[in-house]
Amino acid sequence: MNARSVAVPSASTHAAPLLALLAALSIAGCSADVVAPTPRALAARAAGGAHPAAVDLSGDWAWSETVVALFPPFIAGLIGIEPEGPVTHATCYDAGVLTLVQTGDTFVGTATQTTTCTTRGGQQYVPPSFPPLLDVLNGRIHGRSFSFDFSGGCPYHGTVSVDDGIATRIGGTGKCEVFLHPVLLKTLTWQATRL
C-alpha cells in the first residue's frame, strides 16, 4: 500500500458527531443552565491556590509550661538531689515573658523564665539546664500553625487562637533531649496569652 492511498480524516469528520449531538440536545429541549459560583466557592478556590497569610505573632506574651523530666542517678547527684531509683521523675513549672519579632512567615525572639521543679518523692530544685533567659530560634508560621526552637535545641510546636484577626493565645507541645542523652528527656505542654 502506498502512502498516498491512506485516507486521513478531516477536522470536519471529527466535528460532525459532536455537532449532531448538540443539535439533538437542542431539538429535545435540553439545555444546561449556567450557574455563577457563589462568593464562598470563589473564596475556597482562591484559598486552594494560595498559601494563607501568616498570623502576626510579634509582641509580648505571658507564657508558662509544664515539663516532665526524666534523668538517671548521676544527673540527680549533679543537681543536688537524691536519686529516686534508676530514673528520677520530676515535674517543672516555668513561667515568664516571651517576646517575638516576626518578618513574613518567620520569627525570632527571647523568653524569660523562672522555674520550680519537684520530684515524685517531693524534692524541690532549680535545674541548671533552665536558664533565666532563652533565645527563640528558627520560628516558622504557616496559617495558624507554627514551630520554633528554644536555645539548646528544644523543638516546640503550636497553634494560634485568633480573635478579631489578632493572635491572642498560642500553645502546644515540645520535647528536649538534654545533653544528647536519651534518658534525659523533657516533654512539655505550654501556652501563652498576648500582653
pLDDT tens digits for range 148-164:
998 767 789 999 999 99
Select from 187, 172, 174 the least CA-distant residue to 70.
187
Band (pLDDT 50/70/90 cuts) for residue 175 is: confident
Res 9 pLDDT > 80? no
Give the start-to-end residue ranges of the domains of the chain.
59-194
Q: What is the pLDDT, as a whole number, of residue 166? A: 94
Res 45 pLDDT > 50? no
Angle value at C-alpha 171, between 165 and 173, nearest 5 degrees = 145
Q: Which CATH architecture has domain 59-194?
A: Beta Barrel (2.40)
> Considering the chain, what is the average pLDDT of its residues?
76
The arithmetic mean of pLDDT across residues 123-130, rounded, is 82
Cβ neighbours of residue 101 closer than 8 Å, sequence gap 6 or more: 58, 107, 108, 109
Q: What is the pLDDT, as a whole number, of residue 178? A: 59
Res 28 pLDDT > 80? no
Res 70 pLDDT > 60? yes
Better pLDDT: 187 or 115? 115
Res 75 pLDDT > 70? yes
Q: What is the pLDDT, as a whole number, of residue 164? A: 93
85-105: pLDDT as tens digits = 999 999 989 999 999 999 999
Q: What is the pLDDT, as a whole number, of residue 25? A: 32
Res 3 pLDDT > 60? no
